[in-house]
């Protein structure tokens, strides 16, 4: 990990791993999250020849908070990261709450982005024809309800989760997020990626929940760009059993992104799709980087 100072004086925690000379993939983590990508996803990217550039979004880990940020604002941070590592071009990927930030990067840095991958990514809150909350687990319905109500209500909602997730074990995560985890996701946490998820939460929230707060407020406001601006090939992966980001979100994104290739898969959840399909996703994205 290293600390990158941005042009506006903020700092970002960033990390670069993978084969020397490989194409760069910028990975946008979920909400809450940090620069610790899952080992399975990172290993699959390396095997596909990609270097993985991860970071902790503003307010997560040691990255400086950025109150009032919009989703679109991430493009400037990514440009600075690419400049720092000497990469003229890249592909981008985002999981869950990273999905909108991935799309913002592809929209506003189109001259540097070859392709985008959205894994169980959330759709715009005001998306025409989409019931944003339909199919979400109770915890997410309450969380987004608090975000719409305003910053004070959202702080009151997030506060109890901070000690729970900052030191959570895999079993604690299953307990804390019980309404959001179908059996297929519980199995992933128990069998394979629970420690990765716990490490990610620990780093994300070690200083506080400002990044989580900023994300939720940004998701429930206009993103600051139009999906029509995403003109690069975009791969949308979504599972039918997802209780964090419902299946309809993936369907909506696939229908509204100009160059979308949809992988809308029955029987997969929010975590299981990224865990079990990582090799396919990374191979598809790497091929697009070299097209």
Closest-CA residue to 63 (of 143, 9, 126): 9
User: pLDDT (tens digit, 0 to 9) for every residue of the chain, 291 residues total?
Assistant: 899 999 999 999 999 999 999 999 999 999 999 999 999 999 999 999 999 999 999 999 999 999 999 999 999 999 999 999 999 999 999 999 999 999 999 999 999 999 999 999 999 999 999 999 999 999 999 999 999 999 999 999 999 999 989 988 999 899 988 999 999 999 989 877 889 999 999 999 999 999 999 999 999 999 999 999 999 999 999 999 999 999 999 999 999 999 999 999 999 999 999 999 999 999 999 999 877
User: How many helices and strands, by DSSP H and E, does the chain display?
Assistant: 13, 8
Structural tokens at position 251: 């369907």
The confidence score (pLDDT) of residue 191 equals: 74
pLDDT value, residue 176: 86
Which pLDDT score, from 0 to 100, does residue 190 have? 85
Residues 98 and 215: their CA atoms lie apart, in Å, by 9
- Closest C-alpha among 212, 181, 205 to residue 194: 181
CA-angle at 158, arms to 33 and 187, nearest 5°: 50
DSSP secondary structure code for residue 270 in this structure: T
pTM for the whole thing? Answer: 0.97
Whole-number pLDDT of residue 142: 97
Query: How far apart, in whole angstroms, are the C-alpha atoms of residue 179 and residue 242?
Result: 11
Predicted confidence at residue 29, as pLDDT, reads 98
Burial tier of 34 (Cβ tally within 10 Å: 0-12, 13-18, 19+)? buried
Cβ neighbour number for residue 156 with a 10 Å cutoff: 11
> May I ask the CATH class of domain 2-289?
alpha beta
Tell me how crowded residue 79 is: count the other CB atoms within 10 A of its CB: 16
Alpha helix stretches (DSSP H) within 113-257: 138-149, 151-158, 161-166, 170-176, 183-188, 194-204, 210-219, 247-256
Q: Is 260 helix (H, G, I), strand (E, B) or coil?
A: strand
- Give pLDDT, residue 193: 83
Domain boundaries, the chain: 2-289
Q: State the Cα torsion 69-203-132-139 to the nearest 10°.
A: -130
Q: Is 204 exposed, middle or buried (0-12, 13-18, 19+ CB in 10 A)?
A: buried
How far, in whole angstroms, is CA 138 from its chain's centroid?
Answer: 20
Q: What is the pLDDT of residue 192?
A: 73
Find tokens 């100072």 and name the residue.
5
């Amino acid at each position: 990990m290293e600390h990158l100072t941005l042009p506006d004086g903020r700092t970002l925690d960033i990390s670069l791993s993978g084969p020397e000379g490989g194409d760069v993939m910028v990975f946008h983590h979920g909400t809450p999250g940090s620069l610790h990508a899952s080992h399975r996803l990172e290993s699959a990217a390396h095997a596909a020849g990609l270097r993985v550039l991860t970071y902790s979004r503003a307010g997560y880990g040691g990255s400086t908070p950025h109150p009032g940020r919009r989703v679109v604002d991430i493009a400037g941070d990514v440009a600075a990261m690419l400049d720092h590592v000497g990469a003229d071009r890249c592909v981008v990927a985002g999981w869950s709450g990273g999905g909108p930030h991935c799309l913002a990067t592809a929209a506003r840095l189109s001259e540097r982005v070859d392709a985008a991958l959205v894994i169980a990514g959330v759709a715009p809150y005001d998306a025409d024809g989409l019931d944003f909350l339909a199919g979400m687990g109770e915890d997410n319905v309450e969380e987004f309800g608090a975000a719409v109500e305003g910053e004070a209500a959202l702080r009151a909602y997030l506060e109890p989760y901070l000690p729970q997730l900052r030191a959570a074990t895999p079993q604690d995560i299953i307990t804390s997020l019980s309404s959001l985890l179908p059996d297929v996701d519980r199995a992933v946490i128990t069998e394979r990626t629970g420690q990765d998820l716990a490490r990610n939460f620990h780093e994300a929230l070690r200083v506080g929940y400002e990044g989580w707060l900023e994300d939720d407020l940004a998701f429930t406001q206009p993103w600051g760009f139009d999906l029509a601006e995403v003109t690069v090939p975009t791969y949308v992966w979504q599972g039918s059993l997802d209780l964090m980001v419902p299946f309809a979100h993936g369907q909506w994104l696939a229908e509204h992104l100009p160059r979308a290739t949809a992988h809308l898969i029955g029987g997969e959840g929010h975590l299981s799709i990224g865990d079990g399909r990582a090799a396919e996703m990374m191979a598809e994205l790497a091929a697009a980087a070299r097209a």
